[in-house]
Amino acid sequence: MRWTPGGTSGDIEDDRNSSGGGGGGFGGMHIGIGGLLVLLVLSFIFKRDLITPFLNGGAVGGGSSASAPRTPDPARDAAEQKEVQFVSFVLDDAQSTWTQILPQYRHAKLVLFRDDVNSACGLAQTATGPFYCPGDEKVYLDLGFFNELKSRFGASGEFAQAYVIAHELGHHVQKILGTEGKVRALQQQNPQLRNELSVKMELQADCYAGVWGHSTEQRNILEQGDVESGLNAAAAVGDDHIQKMTQGEVMPEKFTHGTSAQRVQWFKQGLTTGNLNSCNTFTAAQ
């Protein structure tokens, strides 16, 4: 991607050297791109069930107890500075784009953290993956996920990382448009539709990420190979791909984010059209 390193965005809150603190369950938290999928991977690696405690409303690996104070790590902060500047660029550029598309758009904050963080949706840990919390309208990101995206999911490149951020901001757009609230209400009314509605929400966020990607392409920000990098990232975090990789079998009834093909399809839909109205995953045939 063509971008110039600069300062840190005014919409970034840097909690990397802060303790996560206490917190309750995860009520209302949107599990971000790769969230449950990372839990699946970690469960497979450590041969521990990290998913059930999470789904039951507890913090992964330890309920709601307070975290120990974290020792500042200036060397690590310095090593991550370029990534912080890149995240700042993507965040500011995407939010500027959405401000032009939606007059009612209001900026989300992006919280950088390490290990764990206390959000309005409860205590979350790195294994949760990047996520958006509608309760405080913030995106939460541990920069270490970018290494996971590259090494374990095989999705490298800056536009792959940008896709992750843009996807979470897509959930912020859903909150502003009222989609998020309506879907949560439907999930409570019809628990049997919870996963199906979750998939549609995630695919729409992919499409919204593509709408921003279309804008960057029009402004000549993308370089050769960037679109492929983003599409590879979308494919890498498909439910079927992750299930096959971690469990050796695919279980469609447990899909929460969509298949690789669906995620690529809807990200590409936004990339191609650049039109918010082309992202209605709720009425489209999957």
pLDDT single digits (tens) 8-58: 999 999 999 886 554 434 445 565 555 555 555 544 444 444 444 444 333
- Taking 3-state DSSP, the helix, strand and coil percentages for the chain, each rounded to the nearest 5, stand at 55, 10, 40
Contact of 236 with 149, CB cutoff 8 Å = yes
**H or E segment and range at residue 95:** helix 81-101
Q: What is the pLDDT of residue 148?
A: 86
Task: Give whole-number Cα distances, 111 to 26, 130, 251, in Å.
Answer: 17, 10, 33
pLDDT tens string 90-148? 999 999 999 999 999 999 999 999 999 999 999 888 888 899 999 999 999 999 999 88
Residue 160 or residue 41, greater confidence: 160
The DSSP call for residue 257 is: S
Q: What is the DSSP string of 165-228?
A: HHHHHHHHHHHHHTHHHHHHHHHHH-GGGHHHHHHHHHHHHHHHHHHHHHHHHHTT---TTHHH
**Reported pTM:** 0.84
Residue 152 or residue 197, greater confidence: 197
How many Å from the N-terminal Cα to the C-terminal Cα in the chain?
31
User: Which tokens in the block code for residue 243?
Assistant: 């299930």
SS3 state of residue 108: coil
Q: Where are the domains of the chain?
A: 12-279
Q: What is the pLDDT of residue 245?
A: 83
